[in-house]
Amino acid sequence: MANPDHYLITCEHGGNRIPPRYRPLFAGLEPLLKTHRGYDPGALALAEAMSRALNAPLFASTTSRLLIDLNRSLSHPHLYSEATRSTPLTTRRAILEKVYLPFRNQVETAIAAAIARGSRVIHLSAHSFTPELDGTIRNADIGLLYDPARGGELEMCRCWQRRIKAMAPRLKVRRNYPYTGTSDGFTAYLRRRFPAESYIGIEVEINQKHVFRGGQAWDALQGVVIEALRQTIAAPTAFMAPPRNRACRR
């Protein structure tokens, strides 16, 4: 009998903390740390809620993405921000070794260990997005990002989307929006490390307008996302590749 799926939650942009030794680099940039550039408001709360609901390990960072972005590859031009990219190479290497590599390596090692035990890993990465960017209103409440070439990821996101809509018809749930699931990111990197039959990587994006609204409405949205996820997981032959295996017909 096959081992059960192993669920794993990450939150790469959970906070806007800057370690004391690097705070001088952010002199005059303190207000920026409080914006969506500094972190993903609400992402850590969602990650913690998913971790509790699934009894899944959580790997979260509360260090600001403006120090180094844990969701970027080493070659990405925005791996470091305007506060850090012009610092001496020794400083950037120290940030890489103390912040970036420990987080990424810990997650990758955990995934590899679960796969070695015979499980398929379902990796859910929690994020949030600003309601407006460069004058453009983001037309979604929830985004589910995935690689459409991977049948398991495609089917899981289709199923999750349908179940959210069934529970909360007013919520606009879009797939591969406001970003594409194949853009540079941690899940994209991990797909190159692990085959489709062993690894599913989904980024969950929440519109920050719901986070800022707070209160019962924000709690309710998290509840819908998680309950729809539970139903998706419980579906017979849940999100099995190839995509012709439709597990979420309603």
Over residues 52-64, the pLDDT tens digits come to: 999 999 999 999 9
Domain boundaries, the chain: 6-234
Tell me the H-state helices in the chain. Answer: 30-33, 43-54, 89-95, 101-116, 151-167, 186-193, 208-213, 215-234
Q: What is the pLDDT of residue 242?
A: 44
Spatial distance between the Cα atoms of 244 and 247, rounded to a whole number of angstroms = 9
The pTM score is: 0.94
Query: The tokens 């791996």 sit on which residue?
Result: 79
CB of 127 within 8 A of CB of 12? yes
CB of 225 within 8 A of CB of 46? yes
Q: What is the pLDDT of residue 235?
A: 81
Predicted confidence (pLDDT) per residue in 135-182, tens digit: 999 999 999 999 999 999 999 999 999 999 999 999 999 999 999 999
Predicted confidence (pLDDT) per residue in 54-111, tens digit: 999 999 999 999 999 999 999 999 999 999 999 999 999 999 999 999 999 999 999 9
Q: Identity (one letter) of the amino acid at 98? A: K
Query: The tokens 């403006």 sit on which residue?
Result: 66
- Of 108, 139, 249, the C-alpha closest to 205 is 139
Q: What is the pLDDT of residue 1?
A: 45
Beta bridge partners, 133, equal 136
**Per CATH, is 6-234 categorized as 3.40.630.40?**
yes
Predicted confidence (pLDDT) per residue in 6-27, tens digit: 999 999 999 999 999 999 999 9
